Structure 1
Amino acid sequence: MAAEESVPDGRVVEQTPEGTAGEHGFSVEVLQVVKDAQQQHGLRHGDYQRYRGYCSRRLRRIRKSLHFMQGDKRRVQPKKITEENMTDTKFLYLPLMSAERCWSYAMQLKAESNTEPRKKFHMVSKLRKGVQYADELAGLCNSDKCDARTKLEAQAYSAWMKATLMFELGRWKESIELYGKAKTIYEKLSTAFSDDVQALYKQRVDEIAPNIRYCAYNIGDETAVSDLVQMRAKTGGGAEDMLTSKIDELIAQTREKQAATLSEVTWRGRTMPVKFEQVRGFLLSLQESAAELASAETTDSKVSVYERLLKDCVEALQVLRDELKDDQNFKLVQRGQKAEGKVSNLLFLHTYLVYIRLTKTVERNLLMIDTLKQNLPGSATFDENKKVTKPQDLVRFYEIIIQNLSEIPNLPGVEEDASLGHEVEVETLAYKAFRCFYVAQTYAVGKKWPEALALYEKVEKYIQAALSGYKEMKGDQAKRFKDDLARLQSLEQQVNSAKYECQASSILNMGDLTDQMSAVSVRDIAKKPLIERLDEYVDDPGLRSKKPNLVSFPPDFQPVPCKPLYFDLALNHVEFPDLEHKLEQQKQQKKGITGMVSGWFSWGKK
């Protein structure tokens, strides 16, 4: 609540003591107020319910501050805002926040209507209510108490809210006219203010443009599809607006129409029929991905194109796996064995899709590597404010690339393809060179110069082997790997400079070590017993004396284990001999001796 209280509810440019408008009138930056409130209270994460609750609380605070409550606890007494009782700028915030509350509730219901279709009717009714509040705001701002900017912003907001309602109702002509009106107003406003405000208006214009193109497509403009696909690529897949799902649905429908004409595909000199709609849709999206990547402006948008393509590929592969579950060669491959004989067209199509998945994963990782390289220490684009890239971060990506490439030669149907095997082998050598280079960089950062120099020499061997392999390629094959060859030649130059730098650093480090050793006192070393400095050569004359310091005497006490306890366990298993006959003899001897003695004592009595 404290953060919400700090948001200003209104600003009066000039106002007379009686509460009427002054020379310039009331001013409300409608778009700025709306955008700030949305970003600070939930819409950054698409939480419409949180934003709706904020709008309700803010309305209550404004009414209390204006003493314009709608009744009390017992009954409701609605009050209408008129031009006469509008004595403060905060009165304009009442219809604005009410419209925003209705709009956010409608967007929340729209998200829930995917599983509960009945909520769509509730959503439309909330949008109608929001249009009423937006019209009320435009009517109040149209009075003489408001300045020109507030009037234009209120008109644009009202037109945008109406266009949103028409868009949901499918009334495309009315929607495109209203969106066009709002776009025109925001474009005019963007030319009349400073850069910060200008960027806000231009952002609003960019948000409206896809809606206009979508309405144009539904009216009958077939050229709008390509524009929508490019706009969808530029958003990066993270937009939370109401148009994103509709554009995705439109693209899917368009691809379904095009997929009807795609009946076969050729790869590695073999033509395979394509019978499944999902596989056809993926192959069409593969063809369009090149244009989407070319039109994408940011790295995140390009990565999102790859992610979407890989997701479609996995779904298409699952369809083929379900169909191949009875194929004997497919069962052998699943068990890690080699396919026998010529593989079927369906299994070869599965191999083609797996090849696409592996190669596109490699391309995505290379894109992420290029992004990480921009913030390596020493690079031209290094920025201290961003996260610093470590060489070991790049090593992990190159290991994933090498692992993906190692799976390609083992795919069923291409084991005997020498051309493909040569391509994969050369690419693997090139990426091993990059991996080894950044491992060497890691050792160099840790000042382990011998290890780093050895790895740099190994990088040169990888580079020479890969370059000779690239030079053997001709025609289209050489054109496809032209960029890889350029990257490898650039790496060769980096290795030469890094190797000489490492050698120089190791020499300098040896000088530092010598200085450190010279600082060590010989007397201090000579004081140690000889047994403790066998690895250190010191000319100690004391060793030739009559009492050389050889060992420490008396020796230092050392802990020893306690005396163990012993238990005679064998005694439990010993069988002793029978001594009964010895006992009988002792009894007889005892009886003879006692009888004689007792006779002596009883002789006197008798």
Structure 2
Amino acid sequence: MEGPALDLFKAKIEAAMEEARSQQAASLTEFNWLGYRFPVSNPKSRVSILKAQELEKDLQGPTAESLPAEKKKLTIFDKLFTAYNDARNTIRSDLVSAGNAESVKDELNGLDKAVGAVLGQRTIERNQLLVKIAKSKLNRKRDDKNEKVTKPEELVRLYDLLLQNVADLSDLVSSGRDRKPEEIAFEEECERKNLAFRAERCFYLGKSYSLAGKRVEAYALFCRARSLAEDALNKFQNIGNKDEGTIQELKTLSRECRASSCIEHATGIMEEEKAPENLSKKISAISLNETATKAEKYLLDKLDVYESAVGDANTKMAPKIERFPPAFQSIPRNPIVLDLAYNCIEFPVLEERMKKGRGGFMSRFFRSG
């Protein structure tokens, strides 16, 4: 089945699922979060929350490992975010229309906070999935031309997002006055995640400096990342309900930080030792004899000689084809003619030929006097 028939079939299935979800939403009367029970009275909020919970089962249930690829999970996350955002929009609309009913407002504010906290948790999980995808492409060789290889800077940006997500979630949870032990434990979990993400970010920031050849900065960052990883490891090991997966990741990170710092230290010393040798080689390559002058000849200067102007393929000498930009050359111009006889010409006196002005009676009288 392909084309419009498949789209129609999917639309019918989606409509049937929406109808079934609406019927199930009648039984959803409360939303549980960290020991709180918030009533859900609006049918639209019920449908959106129920849809989001079904998508969460697809991600966290036993069928999560059987999902075909990471792109499928990312698509489910997008649908999950849409459902929770629809629920929050409905809740906030109810808050506007609640009026002066303080009890209803408190319940709606608590429900909005709970849904926002769950949305923040799923955002962190989505970004962790993006980190996993990026790490899988970090050391992979580019076999396919269309495949993009991950750079350490991209992982640094992803961990920046994770740190921001954890900070927002921690602020949201700690915003209440009378907090339950579950909320305090959740805030402590956010602090542990924050420390682990900082260690990962510092490690990949050191990787980016290492690729840029900055050995001192990379060494300092790797040492700092190792210190953060060990602090986070101690905190994760001191809790009752230990997360073995995170503990193993932090142990691996600590070992990689130590290995990378040793490599950067050794590489920096080697480069420092080789610096005078490389400098002496470059100085010895400088020549002031005639061979150097001969090498400066260009193709137009030796057209009668069968010699390559491109140079040997094994050398890094620049091709000597033509000088660019070209040198200035003098070119002939039209002569400038000066009238040298002008100063020697004697012009005739023309006063006699000028018309004399005629005066009146009074002018003749004064002239005669």
Give the TM bin, normalised by the shorter chain.
Answer: 0.5 to 0.7
**1:386-412 deviation digits (Å, cap 9, x = unpaired):** 211101111111111110110122224
Distance (Å, rounded) in 2 between the aligned partners of 1:490 and 1:415:
39
- The answer to whether structure 1 residue 428 and structure 2 residue 199 are counterparts is no
**1:461-480 deviation digits (Å, cap 9, x = unpaired):** 211221122123213xx3xx
Distance (Å, rounded) in 1 between the aligned partners of 2:25 and 2:185:
31
**1:96-118 deviation digits (Å, cap 9, x = unpaired):** xxxxxxxxxxx4xxxxxxxxxxx
Distance (Å, rounded) in 1 between the aligned partners of 2:24 and 2:273:
71
In the alignment, which residue of structure 2 is the partner of 1:309?
80
Q: Which runs of 5+ in 2 are unaligned?
A: 287-369
Distance (Å, rounded) in 2 between the aligned partners of 1:415 and 1:462:
32
Shift of 1:521: 4.7
CA gap of 1:327–1:442, structure 2 versus 1, over 3 A, is: farther
Taking structure 2 as the reference length, the TM-score comes to 0.67
Shift of 1:252: 1.6
**1:507-554 deviation digits (Å, cap 9, x = unpaired):** 2222331212333659x9xxxxxxxxxxxxxxxxxxxxxxxxxxxxxx
Distance (Å, rounded) in 1 between the aligned partners of 2:45 and 2:70:
27
- The answer to whether structure 1 residue 413 and structure 2 residue 176 are counterparts is yes
**Structure 1 residues 32-431: aligned runs within 5 Å:** 107=4, 241-293=7-59, 294=64, 295-325=66-96, 344-377=106-139, 379=140, 382-385=141-144, 386-411=147-172, 412-413=175-176, 416=179, 417-431=183-197
Distance (Å, rounded) in 2 between the aligned partners of 1:321 and 1:422:
29
Give 3-state SS (helix, strand or coil) of 2:7's partner. Answer: coil
Q: What is the identity percentage for the equivalent residue pairs of Structure 1 and Structure 2?
A: 26
How large is the Cα RMSD of the aligned pairs?
Answer: 2.7
Q: Alignment partner for residue 513 of structure 1, among 275, 287, 294?
A: 275
In the alignment, which residue of structure 2 is the partner of 1:454?
220
Distance (Å, rounded) in 2 between the aligned partners of 1:326 and 1:402:
35
AA aligned opposite 1:247: I
Shift of 1:428: 0.5
In the alignment, which residue of structure 2 is the partner of 1:591?
none
Distance (Å, rounded) in 2 between the aligned partners of 1:421 and 1:326:
32
Q: Alignment partner for residue 469 of structure 1, among 222, 235, 238?
A: 235
Q: Count matched residues.
A: 269
Q: Give the conservation status (yes or no) of the 8 Å contact 2:233–2:247.
A: yes
Give 3-state SS (helix, strand or coil) of 1:398's partner. Answer: helix
Give 3-state SS (helix, strand or coil) of 2:37's partner. Answer: strand
AA aligned opposite 1:388: V
Q: Which runs of 5+ in 1 are unaligned?
A: 1-30, 36-42, 44-106, 108-163, 165-239, 330-342, 525-606
Distance (Å, rounded) in 1 between the aligned partners of 2:127 and 2:251:
20
Shift of 1:487: 2.0
- Of residues 285-294 and 454-463 in structure 1, the stretch that sits farther from structure 2 once superposed is 285-294
Taking structure 1 as the reference length, the TM-score comes to 0.42
Distance (Å, rounded) in 1 between the aligned partners of 2:177 and 2:240:
21
Shift of 1:414: 7.2
Give 3-state SS (helix, strand or coil) of 1:266's partner. Answer: strand
Distance (Å, rounded) in 2 between the aligned partners of 1:302 and 1:511:
51
CA gap of 1:384–1:506, structure 2 versus 1, over 3 A, is: farther
Q: Give the conservation status (yes or no) of the 8 Å contact 1:351–1:413.
A: no
Distance (Å, rounded) in 2 between the aligned partners of 1:290 and 1:318:
20
Distance (Å, rounded) in 2 between the aligned partners of 1:444 and 1:355:
38
Whose relative contact order is higher, 1 or 2, with alpha carbons under 8 Å and at least 6 apart? 2
Distance (Å, rounded) in 2 between the aligned partners of 1:426 and 1:328:
40
Q: Alignment partner for residue 440 of structure 1, among 186, 192, 206?
A: 206
Distance (Å, rounded) in 1 between the aligned partners of 2:50 and 2:8:
26
